[in-house]
Each structure stands twice: as C-alpha cells, then as structure tokens.
C-alpha cells in the first residue's frame, strides 16, 4: 500500500509565486526519486479555530496563507530511500536561500494509508 508524507506550513502571501516555483522544482526531484504524486495546496478557505485549527497549528500571521501538501510514494521503503536521495540532491536547495517560508513552523510527518477509495 502507498505511503504519504504530509506537510502543513504558513507562507507569506507575497511569496506565493516564489513558493509555487520552488515547489514545482522540488516535485520534479521527488518524482525522479520515486514519488508517484506531489500536491501543493494554497489555502483560501481556512477558518480560524477556537481550540485548534490549521492556522493555529502553524501560527499563521495576518499576511500569510496556510499551505497543505503531500507526497504519495508507492511504499514506505521507497519513501525512505527516495526522500533520503532527494534531501541530498543539490537541486532541492535551489531557490531556498532565503526560504520563501518559515521552516520552523512547518509541520510534517509520514503516514501509512489505511483507506484509499
């Protein structure tokens, strides 16, 4: 069964196009190392919560948008080798100096798929 890497972050509205370009280049690198699909979503209907929310999780500032993204891998094993290779690829660092978002507020994790309809 496939394996998912999920990401949640806040990106300044002014950096939308820069982020999109960096994400598009990164997607090509991830796919080269075995990812099946890379999806990047720019939040446009992300409500504020009272107890918890996407915006609270990333400590979104007034001039930022929430970005929700994921990478689909064919298996955890392929993800482990593919992600390691991608992180060592110098192309992944292109356009990331300075980073178009605050990486300290990025939330990420790996997920085993349990339903895929």
Q: Which residue ranges make up each domain of the chain?
A: 3-112
How far apart are the C-alpha atoms of 15 and 89, rounded to whole Å?
23
The contacts of residue 76 (CB under 8 Å, 6+ apart) are: 3, 110, 112
Give the per-residue pLDDT at 95.
64
Please state whether 26 falls in left (phi above 0), alpha (psi between -120 and 50) or beta.
Answer: alpha
pTM of the model: 0.94
Q: 32 and 24 in contact (C-beta within 8 Å)?
A: no
- CATH 3.30.43.10 is right for the domain spanning 3-112: no
83-101 mean pLDDT: 87
73-94 mean pLDDT: 94
DSSP 8-state assignment for residue 113: -
């Amino acid at each position: 069964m496939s394996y998912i890497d999920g990401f949640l972050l806040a990106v300044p509205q002014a950096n939308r196009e820069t982020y999109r370009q960096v994400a598009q280049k990164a997607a090509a690198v991830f796919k080269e190392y075995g990812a099946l699909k890379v999806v990047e979503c720019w939040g446009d209907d992300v409500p504020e919560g009272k107890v918890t929310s996407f915006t609270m999780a990333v400590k979104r500032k007034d001039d930022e948008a929430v970005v929700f993204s994921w990478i689909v891998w064919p298996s955890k094993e392929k993800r482990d080798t593919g992600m390691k290779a991608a992180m060592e690829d110098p192309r992944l660092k292109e356009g990331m100096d300075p980073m178009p978002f605050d990486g300290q507020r990025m939330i990420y994790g790996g997920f085993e798929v349990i339903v895929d309809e």
